Structure 1
Amino acid sequence: MAERAYVAILRHGAYHQRKGVPSARQPWPLTDEGRAQARAGADLLAAMIAERGLRLSPVIHASHQLRAWQTAQEVAVRLGELGHATEAVEETPALAERGLGSAANLTVAEIEAALRDDPRHDAPPPGWKSDSDYRLPLEGAESLMMAGRRVADHLAATARPGWLTVHVGHGASFRHACHHLGILDRAEIARLSMFHARPSLICHDADGRWSHLAGAWKIREPGGDPKD
């Protein structure tokens, strides 16, 4: 029987997020708290490696967003201090959060005003920001499900039997990716979130199935504003 392929997914640490703006492609760096979260996440990851006797891939994957890249760098440094050397942090657009296209980094109010003033488009539905299937009718925009499919394809393509591959990205696209991989059902996507920089360990078995092995999901508060 072929070996399992192990994958660790980490949401980036806390960062200087601008209020009122969907957080997908904001270019701001980690806060001091976010850097500490990344180092603590590396400690948890090292414990998972030791407990399960995992073999760490030398490349850590990260999205192009600064907060994800910085989190990956902090994780790599801390893992090295703990005896788990890595060779590189490799950036990829495949791990990005949902793209809002031409509305990137506008506030929610500005996005809704733009659609209201454009005779070609209807107003977005209430709660559109967290609607898994809604895609802004703007050039380059994705739905959350589309972003999740992109991330799921990347996780599957980079998984290596017998190795642990680490990916640093964004909570919403990771959750939707887990749905596409059969780890989360539809209802769980909205009910769950991810803690900053805490690893979740998933694996791909020889029979083609994905499963969640370790790392707690964060339970979202009812009515809370969803973030990446």
Structure 2
Amino acid sequence: MPSVIAALLRHGDYHQLKDTPSAWQPFPLTEQGRQQARRSVTLLNGALQMFDWDLCPVIDSSNLLRGWQTAEVIREGFSDKTSSPLSIEGFDELAERSMGSAANLTRQTIESILQDDPRFEAPPADWKSNSHYQLPLQGAESLMQAGVRVARHLDHRLAELQQQVDTDTVKLFVGHGAAFRHAAHHLGILEFDQIAALSMYHCRPVFLERRYAGSWRHLTGEWKVRSRGEAFVD
């Protein structure tokens, strides 16, 4: 039976607001981010050649601009490497964790809002990186909830692909580091303690295989090991 593989790519570097934890910022890639996306084409094509994998012609991308721009650079980069052109489909399901009504506010502003609202308790000191904490604000979700959302999308899309292909095939998913790591936990690939210990390099693919029984395994591609004291900026 042919293998189906998800290539997870964290978007490239982008124009991120300082000390603003919301990952729904609507800003574009920096030039460095575009360079990272261009380099990913070489990495991806090298893996396809090394393992004799075919490439699914549809890239699934987060609808946030930095995700779509990364996918577009990759699509353009493969224009002379595939027999048929790639296309991009955008999905809200691949977005990073939502801060709800606190989207794109600074950390200090969010903490002030919670302090001034008598209905809410003060958040834990690690609230930004705490996998289980959910801001008590409309539309907010925890990192674990975001991971469930992304994991369901990955599993559904690869289950579909398994019914369509007769060769080992890779499908590209462009999204966000924290959501991908939490999704990998829900798919049984990362232990819970590994979520915080690891990150993802910008535009460097991690390849995960979905087996026919529905289980997943890590094939190749490096997670980034966080250094001590490294800020949580996913």
Q: TM-score range by the shorter chain?
A: over 0.9
Cα root mean square deviation, aligned = 1.1
Q: Structure 2 CA distance, aligned partners of 1:213 and 1:227?
A: 26
Pairing 1:1-228 to 2, within 5 Å after superposition? 2-83=1-82, 85-159=84-158, 160-161=161-162, 162-228=168-234
Gaps of 5+ in 2: 163-167
Q: Deviations over 1:116-140 (max 9, x none)?
A: 0000000110110000000000000
Alignment deviations for residues 115-174 of structure 1 (CA, whole Å, 9 cap, x no partner): 000000001101100000000000000000000000000000111224211000000000
TM-score by length of 2: 0.94
SS in 2 for 1:81: coil
Provide the secondary structure at the position in 1 that maps to 2:79. Answer: helix
Aligned residues: 227
Deviation at 1:23, TM superposition (A): 4.1
How far off its partner does 1:213 sit?
Answer: 0.9
Q: Is 2:22–2:98's contact at 8 Å kept on the other side of the alignment?
A: no
Q: What's the % identity of the aligned pairs?
A: 49
Question: Distance between the aligned counterparts of 2:233 and 2:9, measured in 1?
Answer: 15
Name the SS of the counterpart of 1:77 in structure 2.
helix
- Segments of 5+ residues of structure 1 without an aligned counterpart are none
Supply the AA of the counterpart residue of 2:177.
G
Rounded Cα–Cα distance in structure 2 between residues aligned with 1:84 and 1:199: 22
Alpha-carbon distance change, 118 to 84 in structure 1, aligned in 2, over 3 angstroms: farther
Q: Which amino acid aligns with 2:107?
A: V
Partners in 2 of 1:69 and 1:20 — Cα distance?
23
Secondary structure of the structure 2 residue equivalent to 1:129: coil
